[in-house]
Amino acid sequence: MCCGTGLRTLLSWQLKCDDALSLPDRHVAVHEQKRANYLSPWGKHGDQPDDCHHLAHHCADVAACFEAIIALPVVRARIETAGGAPLSPCDRARLAAIAFLHDVGKLHPGFQAKGWSADDRSRHHPLTLHGHLAEGMALLMRQGPMRLWQALGLSDAAWWDDAHPFILASLAHHGRPVNSLAMAGGWDPCVLPGAIYDPADGARTMGAALRAWFPDAFSNDGDGPPPTPRLQHLFAGLVALADWLGSDTRFFKFEKDFRDDYIVTAREKAAEAVSRIRLDIESLRRPAADRADFETITGFAAPAPHQRAVAILEAETGAGKTEAAFWRFARLFAAGAVDGLYVALPTRSAAIQIHGRVNRMLERLTGPDGLKAVLAVPGYLKVGDVEGESLPHWRVRWDDAGERAEDELAARWAAESAKRFLAAPVAVGTVDQAMLAGLQVKHAHLRGACLSRCLLVIDEVHASDRYMTEVQARLLENHLGVGGHALLMSATLGSWARTRWLKAGSVGGGSLKGGPPPDFATAIAAPYPAVWTGRSAAPIDPGGDGARTRRKTVAMTLHSGWSPEHAAGLALAAARGGAKVLVVRNTVTAAVATWEAIRVLGGDGLLLRVADGPALHHSRFAWRTAKRWIAPWKRLWRRIPVGALAA
């Protein structure tokens, strides 16, 4: 139990702790001779009874993190684009004040009781344990006891009613909106042995701190933040991000006794935390600007014309699309237009492969001690070349923990939870991690706010079905709507999908112009490879003087039968003739039968080998097996991998 410092008159109430009536309606006996501690409200609690953080301190930590995050130039630009206007100091202070009140529902006795002993809780039967989100909503929407509302000092804040959309967004910091006022009761004081908990006492402390720490919020300067839906959604995600960071005890140590100057500590620690986890990467921008030419970053010669400023890039596999995407990021990063990069791929295996290439380019851009890419694939804990292991209590042990400074370990913060992947300065992962920002699912706002800072690269957009395309298009609309940047890449993008992407790019500030899908003749006449930019609705043909175009001949042969024996014979004949062969069957059953047929025909020595024996290629290899035996693709040059489409 977390005790306050002041001694006050012990009041003896004959109350039930789940009753919401106000104190004037009660019989109150004042015992002037007896004095007891008033319990201070805790915001974060450790394993021991006295190991707690004052609620006002935790709220200050989160608000200070929010202030530090929105002070970053790229984030500020996203906020102003979402709101349609620059924010005044008063606007920013009001948003920070609302962020400060995100956990005000923790004042509820039913929440505070979670930190009391079981014996103390039992004395107040039928005291019911509570959460804090619906409780906070009831309190801030004036559905709870008026004495608490008045204690918070909000009754004379003329802007409060207009700020309701942002208040609701702040209360959604656990990942989903709060839509219940059912927790309006149960706010009465509780008497414990030698102590009293009165939520009004904590509310007065919170209210005084609110005015002292955020004075500009209560000025009469301006009408408040513009209540646009895009800004409300972005604000919800930024408060959630600030709450994650402000709750991390690596940066914010517990202080149970209230300090009226604690905000100074909170702001110092918040600035340090935002820098250490690499949300603030301004110090890397200038060195990167000196290295942002294509050849330095990729190790290849100057880019072909179709690798310049792009929105949709169509080119064959191996043409350098990944290098073009990274070059685009380097140019935007050096110009201060983005703070991060997320490369979204359709499969886990593709993400793992591209992760290594992006890491090598990152080292060329930011130096050996610069940024490292997070592998944003659930089940993996990897930053750069270093792997980690999950431990109890949401901790992570990194393989090189004994060799690295604390700042280097803190820079891996985003990698330690899949929910935070998109907060990394650079991450390579599966497209679903980005798509979750475009669906009505938990933590969508957090993901979307983090992604807004980044160049979003969606590779192999042709691999998405109709449903995935619609989700990704909505994601793109939201991303561009707050001023984000995106690059879409494909080897074989169909005309319908291209039209849908162009339409998505024209919404919310995007520069692309979509139209109806072209007819068949127009579709097949479109040049390839091509870049589709915002300067026109037509592709730019990369051919012409100086273009390094590549040509190859592709032939297809129809076969009347495709039995396992027939396919095995064709594969063996081609492989023995020096060809590189890949056999893909529609079903696992057909793949197994074809693999067995190759063995019967004496092709054991040409099949993919794992652990010194012939193996079928499938999607369920343990990742260590895949890494050891399959990932070195040169092993496949003289082999015949046989698998199903899912592999």
Q: Which of 353, 79, 382 is nearest to 233 (CA)?
A: 79
Asked whether residue 260 falls in the same domain as residue 131, the answer is yes
Q: Which of 234, 242, 307 is nearest to 479 (CA)?
A: 234
- Rounded-to-integer distance, Cα 569 and Cα 591, Å: 14
Asked whether residue 153 falls in the same domain as residue 239, the answer is yes
What is the SS3 assignment for 168? helix
- Using CA atoms, how far residue 202 sits from 48, 218, 382, 592, in Å, is 22, 20, 43, 68
In a domain, 79, yes or no: yes
Q: How many CB atoms lie within 10 A of CB 247?
A: 17
How much is the CA Rg of the chain, to the nearest whole Å? 30
Per-residue H/E/C for 337-363: CCCEEEEEECCHHHHHHHHHHHHHHHH
- Rounded-to-integer distance, Cα 498 and Cα 494, Å: 6
In a domain, 383, yes or no: no
Q: Which of 48, 58, 47 is nearest to 255 (CA)?
A: 58
- Rounded-to-integer distance, Cα 617 and Cα 604, Å: 14
pTM over 0.85: no
What is the SS3 assignment for 452? helix
> Of 532, 556, 579, at which residue does a domain stop?
532
Q: What is the mean pLDDT of each run of 10 residues along the chain (647 residues)?
A: 31 29 31 52 87 96 98 96 93 97 94 85 76 91 89 90 94 89 78 87 96 93 86 97 96 95 98 95 75 53 43 80 87 91 92 91 86 91 88 80 78 91 95 94 96 94 84 90 91 81 63 68 82 62 52 81 91 90 90 93 86 75 58 58 73
Q: Which of 513, 493, 501, 450 is nearest to 477 (CA)?
A: 501
Residue 580, φ and ψ in degrees, nearest 5: -90, 125
Q: Which of 357, 354, 353, 309 is nearest to 335 (CA)?
A: 309
Which of left, alpha, beta for 313 (phi over 0: left; psi -120 to 50: alpha)?
beta
Residues 412/420, Cβ–Cβ less than 8 Å: no
The confidence score (pLDDT) of residue 470 equals 87
The confidence score (pLDDT) of residue 99 equals 98
- Using CA atoms, how far residue 1 sits from 7, 120, 389, 431, in Å, is 16, 10, 33, 45
- Rounded-to-integer distance, Cα 585 and Cα 459, Å: 24
- Rounded-to-integer distance, Cα 137 and Cα 142, Å: 8
State how beta strands 609-610 and 374-376 pair: unpaired
Q: Which of 83, 138, 143 is nearest to 105 (CA)?
A: 138
Asked whether residue 574 falls in the same domain as residue 633, the answer is yes
Q: Give the domain range for residue 266.
A: 3-276
Asked whether residue 306 falls in the same domain as residue 258, the answer is no
> Of 532, 556, 578, at which residue does a domain stop?
532
Residue 386, φ and ψ in degrees, nearest 5: -100, 135
> Residue 171 sits in a domain of what CATH number?
1.10.3210.30
> Residue 335 sits in a domain of what CATH number?
3.40.50.300
Q: Which of 336, 318, 415, 273 is nearest to 78 (CA)?
A: 336
Asked whether residue 18 falls in the same domain as residue 125, the answer is yes
> Of 245, 276, 307, at which residue does a domain stop?
276
- Rounded-to-integer distance, Cα 178 and Cα 202, Å: 23
Asked whether residue 526 falls in the same domain as residue 594, the answer is no
Per-residue H/E/C for 300-329: CCCCCHHHCCCCEEECCCCCCHHHHHHHHH
Asked whether residue 528 falls in the same domain as residue 569, the answer is no
Q: Which of 308, 314, 343, 645 is nearest to 494 (CA)?
A: 314
Residue 157, φ and ψ in degrees, nearest 5: -85, 100
Question: Structure tokens of 307?
Answer: 């690798």
The confidence score (pLDDT) of residue 12 equals 27
Alpha helices for 37-72 (secondary structure H)? 55-70
In a domain, 288, yes or no: no
In a domain, 395, yes or no: no
Asked whether residue 197 falls in the same domain as residue 240, the answer is yes
In a domain, 282, yes or no: no
Residues 245/251, Cβ–Cβ less than 8 Å: yes
State how beta strands 386-391 and 42-45 pair: unpaired
Asked whether residue 269 falls in the same domain as residue 354, the answer is no
**Residues 6 or more apart from 50 whose CB is under 8 A from it?**
1, 2, 3, 256
**Residues 6 or more apart from 453 whose CB is under 8 A from it?**
72, 74, 75, 78, 338, 339, 340, 484
- Rounded-to-integer distance, Cα 271 and Cα 283, Å: 14
Question: Structure tokens of 277?
Answer: 């986890």
Q: Is the peptide bond before 529 cis (omega within 30 degrees of 0)?
A: yes
Asked whether residue 227 falls in the same domain as residue 322, the answer is no
Residues 230/98, Cβ–Cβ less than 8 Å: no
State how beta strands 195-197 and 190-192 pair: antiparallel
Query: Residues 275-303, buried b or exposed e (16+ Cβ, 10 A)?
Result: bbbbbbbeebbeebeeebebeebbeeeeb
Asked whether residue 39 falls in the same domain as residue 79, the answer is yes
Residues 479/340, Cβ–Cβ less than 8 Å: no
Asked whether residue 122 falls in the same domain as residue 71, the answer is yes
The confidence score (pLDDT) of residue 7 equals 24
Largest interatomic CA distance in the chain: 102
In a domain, 528, yes or no: yes
- Rounded-to-integer distance, Cα 493 and Cα 314, Å: 7
- Rounded-to-integer distance, Cα 101 and Cα 277, Å: 24
The confidence score (pLDDT) of residue 506 equals 64
User: Total structural domains in the chain?
Assistant: 3
In a domain, 47, yes or no: yes
38 membership: H or E segment, kind and range: strand 28-39
In a domain, 568, yes or no: yes
Torsion of CA 643, 644, 646, 647, to 10 degrees: 0
Q: Give 64-106 as a DSSP string.
A: HHHHHHHTSHHHHHHHHHHHTSPPPHHHHHHHHHHHHGGGGGG
- Rounded-to-integer distance, Cα 270 and Cα 246, Å: 7
- Rounded-to-integer distance, Cα 128 and Cα 185, Å: 11
Burial (Cβ within 10 Å: 0-12, 13-18, ≥19) of residue 119: exposed
